[in-house]
Amino acid sequence: MNKGLFITFEGADGCGKTTQLMLLAKYLKQHGYEVLVTREPGAKGLGERLRDILLNYDGEVSSKAELFLFLADRAQHMDVIIKPAVAAGKIVLCDRHTDSTVAYQGYGRGLDIERIKTLNSIATGGRKPDLTFVFDIDIETSMQRVGSQKDRMESSGMEFFNKVRNGYLAIARQEPERVKVFDATKAIEDIRIDVLETLRMFVAKM
Ligand code: TYD
């Protein structure tokens, strides 16, 4: 594997994707790969400011404004951080990306999904993740894990999160080659093994 790779980690809040991302990063680094760990919203620089608005601003934010803030963050992230890293041969592990916008702003908030896909494509210059891991969790478990300290997005309610979850499952059905779903209620170590196996199979086919 000397070509760069772009892998995204997705799922509803509290699904454990960040834990799995860190475990995979550790494994890959131990095996000599150059890895870049990053996230949306809010990679380094401008992204940190946008993240603060998206998660902490307590005034009214329209759904459309929210969408464009996520997309602004994505455009910057793609151009300044992700594309150069992949071009340099790194394995980029990104916590949330385009599918979050389809799931949260599209399926969750009810904005037009086809339009979001077009806007995503403008923001990324058409570069899709090579592989996407979705960690599927029931909403009750998710809420228990998130606890009482919720940010602006996490305060959107149960109905919203059910829509987000179903959105992710719909995305996976539409793009089964790219998007792989894991049962996030399983033990961390079991999920880690499943993730690794999926990555191995993907790399073998490259
Ligand atoms: P974060 O604290 O990073 O949560 P998590 O650990 O669950 O990833 O918060 C990101 C929040 O932003 C999360 O609730 C999902 C939401 N989000 C969107 O609604 N649309 C997007 O395009 C992205 C990238 C995130």
- pLDDT tier at 185, thresholds 50, 70, 90: very high
Q: From 3.40.50.12780, 3.40.50.2300, 1.10.1060.10, 3.40.50.300, which CATH number describes the 5-205 domain?
A: 3.40.50.300
| Confidence (pLDDT) at 127 | 97
Average pLDDT on 15-24 reads: 97
> Of ligand 1's atoms, which has the minimum distance to the CA of residue 154?
14
For residues 93 and 24, the answer to whether their CB atoms sit within 8 Å is: yes
Average pLDDT on 182-198 reads: 97
Average pLDDT on 138-149 reads: 82
The two structure tokens encoding residue 170: 């719909």
| Confidence (pLDDT) at 132 | 98
Name the residue of 55, 95, 100 to mutate for ligand 1: max ligand atoms within 8 A of Cβ. Answer: 100
Alpha-carbon dihedral angle through residues 89, 134, 113, 84, given to the nearest 10 degrees: -10
| Confidence (pLDDT) at 98 | 98
Mean pLDDT score of the chain? 94
Average pLDDT on 44-71 reads: 93
For ligand 1, atom 25, the nearest C-alpha belongs to 100
Distance in angstroms between the alpha carbons of the first and the last residue of the chain: 9
Paired sense of beta strands 35-39 and 131-136, if any: unpaired
| Confidence (pLDDT) at 139 | 83
Q: What is the pTM of this model?
A: 0.94
Rounded Cα gap, residues 73 and 51, in angstroms: 8
| Confidence (pLDDT) at 157 | 81
Q: Is 92 helix (H, G, I), strand (E, B) or coil?
A: strand
pLDDT at position 153 over 90 = no
| Confidence (pLDDT) at 155 | 74
| Residue listed under structure tokens 């995305």 | 171
| Confidence (pLDDT) at 143 | 79
18 lines ligand 1 (CB under 6 A): yes
pLDDT at position 149 over 90 = no
pLDDT tens, residue by residue, 67-123: 999 999 999 999 999 999 999 999 999 999 999 999 999 999 999 999 999 999 999
For ligand 1, atom 7, the nearest C-alpha belongs to 13
The closest of 30, 24, 18 to 5, measured between CA atoms, is 24
